[in-house]
Amino acid sequence: MIESDTSKLPKEELDSLKNYAHGLIKTVREPLLVLDRNQNIVAYNANFEKKFKINESEGGVSVFNFNQKQLHTDEFREILEELQNSEEPISDRTVEVKFSENEKKKFSVNASLLSLPTKTSLTLLSFKRLKSGRLSRQEKVFNKVVDNILSNAPAAICILRGPEHTFEVANENYLKLIAHRNIIGKTVKEALPEVGNQGFIDLLDTVYSTGEPYIGNEIAINLQDENGAFRNSYLNFVYEPTRNKKSKIDGVFVHAIDVTEQVLARKKVEESEDRLKEVIDAVPGIIWITNEKGESIFFNKNWYSYTGQNVEEAKVFGWLETIHPEDYERAKAIFLEAQKERKPYSSTFRLQSANGDYRWVIDKGSPKFHSNGEYEGMIGTVIDVHDEKLKENLVREKEHRMQGIVKEATVATAIYTGLDMNIELANNAMLKLWGKDDSVLRKRLDQALPELDGQPFLELLRNVYRTGETYWGKEDKVDLLINGEMQTGFYNFTYKPLRDKNGEIYGILNMAIDVTESVKSKMLLKESEFHFRQMADLMPGMVSKTDARGSDIYFNKNWLDFTGKASESLKEIGWVEFIHPDEKQTYLDAWENCLGTGCDLEMQLRLKNKEGKYIWHLSRCEAVKEDDGSVKMWIAANTEIDKIKEEEKRKEEFLKMVSHELKTPVTSIKGYVQLLLSLIKKQQEAEVSKLPLQPSLERINHQVSRLTRLISEILDLSRIRENQLELKKEEFNLNELVAETIQDINYTNTQHKIDLESEVQSLVRADRDRIGQVIINLIMNAIKYSPGSLNINVKVVQEARDKVKVIIKDFGIGISTENHKKIFKRFYRVGVKSEETYSGFGIGLYLANEIMERHNGEIKVKSRLGEGSEFSFILDATQITS
C-alpha cells in the first residue's frame, strides 16, 4: 500500500517517509491520499481504500494510472498542477470519479503540500463525497428557474464541462439545432463528430485554456440533420468560460443564435447588390451612391477609369478632389446643400480626367429614401457634356452677339420664354411700339401689357409654344395703352418658336412692323373705292374700270344687269366680246391706240345684251392719270343711245313729213291761188258772179287754218322744250268749249257724226285755247284713226267730287296695249309705215299730255287693237252741276 516516488531516495529515508505518511493519515476518517512530488502514490488510508474500492496493492504508481485510471481526469490533474505551482492549499474542488461505465461520483477535494525536513514534499489530498442526488429545496428551485430560462431562451444554450467539453446541459433550442441527438454526458467530439474538423473544438480549447470569451458572428457550421444530411447554418455565438468556486475554468457556456435565415436573406441581397453593381458597372456612364451623411460609398467602374482615382481615393469626399480648382468651392457647396436639404441635385463643373485634362460634366443626384421614409443618401450620375458645353458657349456667345444686334435693330423684336411668356428681351423699337420702358423686361407679358387681356395675342403665343407652328400676323389690329391712352395700331408680325439644342421649344421670337399708316390709307382707299363703286352703280350708264394695262378690274351693276353675267365671269370674258362684230375691230384698234398714247376714246358701237340683242351705245373711255402723267387707270362709260338713235330717226321722218304735210296745203293754196288768178284773168271775159269763188276761198281758209295749227303746234313744241309754254288761265264753261269745238269740226268734217252728251255742266279754271287744242286733237285723232266707223261719242261726266272728265270715244283701229304709254311721247307714231295712210307728226298727244300736266290734269287712254279707242282728260272743276 505504500508507494515510493523514486528509487533516488536512500532506503532508510524512504521508509521513514512512508512511516510518517502512514502515521499522518491512519487516524483520519475522511479518505486521504498522499502523493510524492512526481504524483506517484505514497500512501492512502483505509477509508480511501474503501471509498475508491481499491482492490490492487501496487505502490509507487502514478496516481493517474492508479485503480483503472479512476483519477485520470483533467480536473484532478489541474488541482495537482495548481498546487505544485502555487504551493498554496486548494479547497473544495469538484472532481468526478468514474467507478464504472454508468457510475460516476463527485468528490470535493482539498489539497495541500506537506514540506518535509528532507527537503522533499508530499501532496496531501482529502476526498469528500458530494451528495449530488439530494439537492436542497433552494437548489432545486434555483435549478428549475435556470432550466426554465434555458429552455425558454430564444438562443441555443448549452454548458460544456471540463477540458473535453462534455455536454452537461442543453436547452431545447440547442437540441433542435443538432437534430435532437443524445448528447448529454458526451464530449463535443463524440456527440457531434462532424464539427471536429470545423475549428470549433480548437476555439473551445482556446476559451477553456485562456479564459478569454469568444464571440463568433455569422459563423458557418455544417451540421447533420435527422437524416444524416449535412446542412449549413449560420450562428452568432458566444463561448464564455465558466469557473468553479475557486475561479478555475471548469467549462464553457455556449450561447448561440441561429441566424441562417437572415444571413441567407442578406447574402441574397448582397448577391443581387453585387449583380446590380455589375449592371451599374456595365452602364456607359458614371454612377455614384452616397450614404445618409453624404459620403460616397460606391462608384461604378467608369468613375475610376474616367478620373483615374482608386477606390480609396474616391470614397467619402475624396471624389471632390478631382474637381477643377476654380469650380471646387461652388460645386462642393451645391452638393453639400442638396445633401443637407435631401433634395434633387444638379451641378455643372469641370472634372479632371485620367489624362489630366479638365472636362465639363453634369453631376446629377436624387435622394434615396427607405420604405420606412428614412433618408439613405443619394444616387446619381455624372455625364460628360464637354463638347456640348463648348458648343453652348459658342451659342451663348452668338446669342450674346445676336442680342446686341437685336437690341440695335430697327425692327421691333422681343423674345419671350416659357409658357408664361416672360419678356426675356425687347429691343428699343419694341419698347417704343408698346409705349413702355425697360422696366417691363423679365416681367410676364400679360403683366407688362395688361391691355392685351381680351385680345387674341396671348392665346396665339401659347398656341405657337405648344404646337411649334409659326404665326404670321398680317395687318392685325392691336390695342395698346400708350401714354395712358388706348391706341389702335396695325402690325405685320411673326411669332416664331425658339428651340434649344434638343429641339425643345423654350421661347418665342416676336418681330413686328408697324403698318398702321398703310392700313389706314388702304382703308381710306377702300372707302373711296366703295364710294366710287356706289356711285358707279348708281350711274345710269354702264361704267367699268380697268388698270393701266387695260385689264378689267371692275364693272358696275348696269354692266352686270345688261350682260346678265356675274362680276367674275364678266371679268373673265371681257367686255370686248359684247361688241357687235361690225364695230369690234375698229374699237380694238382705237383702244390699242389709247393704251399706247393715253388719249381718250369715244365711239358709237353696239353691245349685245343678255337677250342677245345689240343695243347702240356711246362708249367713252378716259384715262385717270397720276401726278407725273402716267396712266393710273381707265374709266369707261357706255351710254345707251339706242333711243336717241331712234329719236333721231323719228326726227328725220318728222322733217320728211313736215315738208310733205306743209307741201300739201301750200300746194293746194298755190293751186287755188293759181285758179283764182286764171279766173280773175277770165273775169274780164265773163261775169264774176258765176264763178265758184266762195267754195275755193273756203278751202283755202281751211287749209290755211290747218297750216296755222300745224305751225302753232311746232311752235308749242319748241316752247315746251325750252320750258316756255305759258298758260293764260281763266274761268270758263267746259261744256260750252266742247260744244263749240265739235261745231267747228263739223264745219269741215261732214262724214263723221260726233255726238255730245253732257252728264254735268262744269266751270273750270284753265287756259281756254289750249284746252280747246286738246279737245280738237283728240277728236281729230278719233276721226283720223276710224276710217271704217263714222260714230264718235263725246261725253262730259263728273269724275270725282270736284273733277270733270271729257271722254272722246271712237270705234276705229284701236291701239295695242304696249303702245298706250308710247303714244304720248314726242314724235311717236304707231306703225312707222302707216304714215301714208294716216298723216300726222306724232306731236298731238305729246302736246295734249304736256298741257294737261300743266293744269294738274290727267290724260288717259283705254283701247284695244281693232276695237276703237277711248281718250279722256280730267280737270279740276271750279263748279260742277248735273
Q: Which of residues 806-825 bind ligand ADP (CB under 6 A)?
A: 810, 812-815, 823
> What is the contact mask toward ligand ADP in residues 861 to 880, using x (rule: CB under 6 A)?
--------x-----------
Comparison of 77 and 825: residue with beta carbon closer to ligand ADP: 825
Across 99-173, the runs of DSSP E, i.e. the strands, are: 104-115, 121-129, 156-161, 166-170
Contact status: 661 vs ligand ADP (CB under 6 A):
no
DSSP letter assigned to residue 316: B
**Residue 415 to residues 412, 465, 497, 821: CA-CA distances in angstroms?**
11, 12, 10, 77
Contact status: 707 vs ligand ADP (CB under 6 A):
no
**Which residue has its beta carbon closest to ligand ADP?**
840
Bridge partners (DSSP) listed for residue 252: 160, 241
- Distance between CA atoms of 433 and 427, rounded to whole angstroms? 10
Comparison of 286 and 754: residue with beta carbon closer to ligand ADP: 754
Tell which one of 200, 349, 841, 873 touches ligand ADP (CB under 6 A).
841
Contact status: 679 vs ligand ADP (CB under 6 A):
no
- Please give the grid coordinates belonging to residue 246: 475557486
C-beta of 528: minimal distance to ligand ADP in Å?
A: 48
DSSP 3-state of 213? coil
Comparison of 404 and 787: residue with beta carbon closer to ligand ADP: 787
Comparison of 639 and 793: residue with beta carbon closer to ligand ADP: 793
DSSP 3-state of 674? helix
- Distance between CA atoms of 253 and 278, rounded to whole angstroms? 44
- Please give the grid coordinates belonging to residue 121: 514534499
- Distance between CA atoms of 513 and 687, rounded to whole angstroms? 116
Which among 675, 525, 543, 715 is positioned nearest to 620, based on CA atoms? 543
Tell which one of 621, 843, 877, 880 touches ligand ADP (CB under 6 A).
843
CB 506 within 8 A of CB 499: yes
CB 124 within 8 A of CB 112: yes
Q: Which of residues 782-801 bind ligand ADP (CB under 6 A)?
A: 782, 785
Tell which one of 238, 395, 402, 830 touches ligand ADP (CB under 6 A).
830
Comparison of 783 and 875: residue with beta carbon closer to ligand ADP: 783
CB 179 within 8 A of CB 280: no
> What is the contact mask toward ligand ADP in residues 720 to 759, using x (rule: CB under 6 A)?
----------------------------------------
Count of residues engaged in binding ligand ADP, rule: CB under 6 A: 20
Q: Hey, what amino acid is at 718?
A: S
Comparison of 169 and 658: residue with beta carbon closer to ligand ADP: 658
- Please give the grid coordinates belonging to residue 719: 316752247
C-beta of 715: minimal distance to ligand ADP in Å?
A: 16
C-beta of 878: minimal distance to ligand ADP in Å?
A: 28
Comparison of 532 and 811: residue with beta carbon closer to ligand ADP: 811
Angle of CA points 779, 782, 788, to nearest 5° = 140
HSE-CB at 628 with a 13 A cutoff on CA atoms is 2
C-beta of 772: minimal distance to ligand ADP in Å?
A: 15
Comparison of 416 and 873: residue with beta carbon closer to ligand ADP: 873
DSSP 3-state of 20? helix
Comparison of 457 and 846: residue with beta carbon closer to ligand ADP: 846
Tell which one of 844, 849, 851, 877 touches ligand ADP (CB under 6 A).
844
Q: Hey, what amino acid is at 679?
A: L
Is residue 564 packed enough to be buried (19+ CB in 10 Å), middle (13-18) or exposed (0-12)?
exposed
Which among 253, 258, 233, 249 is positioned nearest to 158, based on CA atoms? 253
Comparison of 380 and 857: residue with beta carbon closer to ligand ADP: 857
Comparison of 446 and 647: residue with beta carbon closer to ligand ADP: 647
Contact status: 842 vs ligand ADP (CB under 6 A):
yes
Is residue 438 packed enough to be buried (19+ CB in 10 Å), middle (13-18) or exposed (0-12)?
exposed
C-beta of 793: minimal distance to ligand ADP in Å?
A: 12
Contact status: 829 vs ligand ADP (CB under 6 A):
yes
Tell which one of 308, 435, 598, 840 touches ligand ADP (CB under 6 A).
840
Contact status: 781 vs ligand ADP (CB under 6 A):
yes
Which among 254, 256, 57 is positioned nearest to 167, based on CA atoms? 254
**Residue 527 to residues 62, 532, 556, 559: CA-CA distances in angstroms?**
146, 9, 16, 22
Tell which one of 845, 851, 875, 877 touches ligand ADP (CB under 6 A).
845
- Distance between CA atoms of 92 and 128, rounded to whole angstroms? 9
Comparison of 217 and 816: residue with beta carbon closer to ligand ADP: 816
Contact status: 851 vs ligand ADP (CB under 6 A):
no
Sheet holding 375-384, edge to edge: 296-299, 286-290, 375-384, 358-369, 345-352
Comparison of 189 and 822: residue with beta carbon closer to ligand ADP: 822
C-beta of 866: minimal distance to ligand ADP in Å?
A: 10
**Residue 705 to residues 212, 319, 654, 665: CA-CA distances in angstroms?**
177, 141, 20, 10
User: Which region among 128-136, 191-199, 290-298, 843-851 touches ligand ADP (by CB under 6 A)?
Assistant: 843-851
C-beta of 702: minimal distance to ligand ADP in Å?
A: 18
Binding site for ligand ADP (CB under 6 A): 777, 781-782, 785, 810, 812-815, 823, 829-830, 840-846, 869
